[in-house]
Amino acid sequence: MRTAKQLGIATVGIYSEADTAAVHARFADEAICVGPAASTASYLNIPAIVDAIKQTGADAVHPGYGFLSENSHFVEAVEAAGATFVGPPTHAVEKMGDKVESKKIAAAAKVNTIPGWAGVTENADHAISVAREIGFPVMIKASAGGGGKATRRRVLVQGMRVAWNEKELLEGYELCTQEAASAFGDARMLIEKFIEQPRHVEIQVLGDKWGNVIYFPERECSIQRRNQKVIEEAPSPLVTPAMRRAMGEQAVALCKAVGYHSAGTVEFLANPQREFHFLEMNTRLQVEHPITEAITGQDLVEHMLRVAAGQPLTVSQDQVLHYSGSAMECRVYSENPARGFLPSIGRLLRYREPRGPGIRCDSGVQEGSEISIFYDPLISKLVVHGVDRGAALAGMRRALDSYVIRGVQHNAPLLRSVLDVPSFVAGNLSTAFLAENYATPEASAPERLPLGAGQQDQLLAVAALLWGDMELVLTLSGQQTAVVVRPAESRMVATSGINGAEHGSGQALEAEVDGQAVFLQVLQMGPRQYKLQHCGAQRVIQVDSPLSARLGCHMPVQHAEDFSKAIQSPMPGTLISVAVQPGQLVNQGDEVAVVEAMKMQNVLKANVDGVVKSVEADAGAVVAADQVIVRFE
């Protein structure tokens, strides 16, 4: 919408009843409600959207990133309504949107393809037959869906899962078909060989209606969770000029094979030996397109609008390959990494986006916005551009350190932690990165993210100065440190120049510790403690006088409630089904209930053998995070 307004084009935004107060609905020159909160009744409701086109007299429709952006029936409906679809032609959307058909076309165009069987499966038994033929592990994928490769043994994402054996394949196939039917209106499934330890590298393409197609420098999208990209960068640390040219030329060949125009992305899997194979083509603008714009100076949305208007490309192949610097994007999601990245809903009680040279933050929220259970939990796309990869990395660290989000759980702390992992700094990436470096959900929790010894000293120094001018004993992770705070020095570390700190939670602050700039956030303040965030890691620091520290060991210890014999909802959502009843004997691993949120179904299984004592929620109920659904005797 910003690009359209810069070009003098009036905009119409569509919204659901749940998005009445959404930023995009208020930013548009005109906004039309297209239905209730459920996406199938609003953002996937083609007749309602066509009515909005006719009602407003819209000349063109830009589909955005998701929902109907890769639906050929929608393209046809838009054109039948007399409007121009800002995207590729119908036949290209249809052929490239079908993973089976796209691979056949890619092979015919001499594009490197993944070895294995390609075809739509008839049912779960057929899927098992195919898996036995090509060998486990296999990827279960919705033919009409999008996404990349998995990073974990168990994957929960709409229409896509990895199966390592026949049992997981049977379970995953049923859930994938349900999710694909709900998300895409198409339950067809395909099975392909799952390639372990790949790198996800993609090529941005742009074509016009005159037969011209060019490719842009690649994007690396290997840092993923639940099949979805989390951190992207351009250019890739892996790709050489020769590899870039080979990938780009194959991407252009694929586009020409289907008569493609507008923006699109050809995705590849690459190995450390720089061999690459076609994964799929996304016939739309990608979420991560800003990093390409950052290094090339090109506005891809503007090019899409001009192509849709019938204009030839105004940029050449040579121009876009002469890029500048490096850019990174972090996708900030409202989710709980400690619970397997399950969505977190709620109101943004405090929200402050980072600002500064080279920083771009694309978001659809503001302070007070509601994160609901109905849609993707993406809060923003945080982009940083630097003169090289090192500068972009340093800029992203600072941007994430100063990004204030309160009211929901989110993944910004984990993103910040990733940026300090030595293999990431070195550019040694794979789609298994998060699973390898954060092996359990608990390891992704902000309270468990690692801090180096020097970073802990910085944390203690700032905590001491925030408290005041006195003798203190600071307790961090069970370790006591005696500190004397004076105006000019500290026995622990010399610190000065704290800016932006207030005596209240939710603040970002900047300090200088031993001459080094340090960025922290004050999350909570109590009568005897701080909860601070530094480099993504969150720590509680207890502050005592020397006397109270000596007497503290005599205080009683509080014990948390025992939920070992209960099944709790891991996230807010709708309770789809309950498979047990009071008095029923269940075994560990048996299905107990299914909770759905943001188009994802999560099967809750018994964690112990036992007899059901009570069922405390009915199917169809909306449940909160941690709400008890079933108790065992």
Active site residues: 284
For residues 86 and 262, what is the distance between their CA atoms, to the nearest angstrom? 8
Q: Give yes or no for a contact between 200 and 434, defined as CB atoms under 8 angstroms apart.
A: no
CA distances from 278 to 100, 108, 234, 419 (A): 12, 12, 19, 28
Half-sphere exposure of 418 (CA within 13 A, CB side): 32
Three-state DSSP state, 490: strand
Element (H, E) at 42: none
Q: Which residue has the tokens 């959307």?
A: 93
Three-state DSSP state, 234: strand
Amino acid at position 418, single letter: V
573 — phi, psi (to 5°)?
175, -165
Q: Give yes or no for a contact between 36 and 42, defined as CB atoms under 8 angstroms apart.
A: yes
Nearest to 111 by CA among 96, 133, 89: 96
329 beta partners: 232, 383
Contacts 24+ apart (CB under 8 A), 27-31: 27/1, 28/1, 30/56
358-372 core/surface letters (b: 16 or more CB in 10 A; e: else): bbbbeebbeeebebb
Contacts of 377 (CB under 8 A, 6+ apart): 333, 334, 335, 343, 344, 345, 371, 598
Tokens of 406: 């309160």
Q: Give yes or no for a contact between 578 and 570, defined as CB atoms under 8 angstroms apart.
A: no
DSSP codes, 280-300: EEE-S--TTHHHHHHHH---H
Q: Give yes or no for a contact between 379 and 371, defined as CB atoms under 8 angstroms apart.
A: yes
For residues 602 and 596, what is the distance between their CA atoms, to the nearest angstrom? 6
Tally helices (H) and strands (E) across the chain.
18, 37
Contacts of 109 (CB under 8 A, 6+ apart): 250, 253, 254, 256, 257
Q: Give yes or no for a contact between 363 and 379, defined as CB atoms under 8 angstroms apart.
A: yes
Nearest to 193 by CA among 132, 266, 143: 132
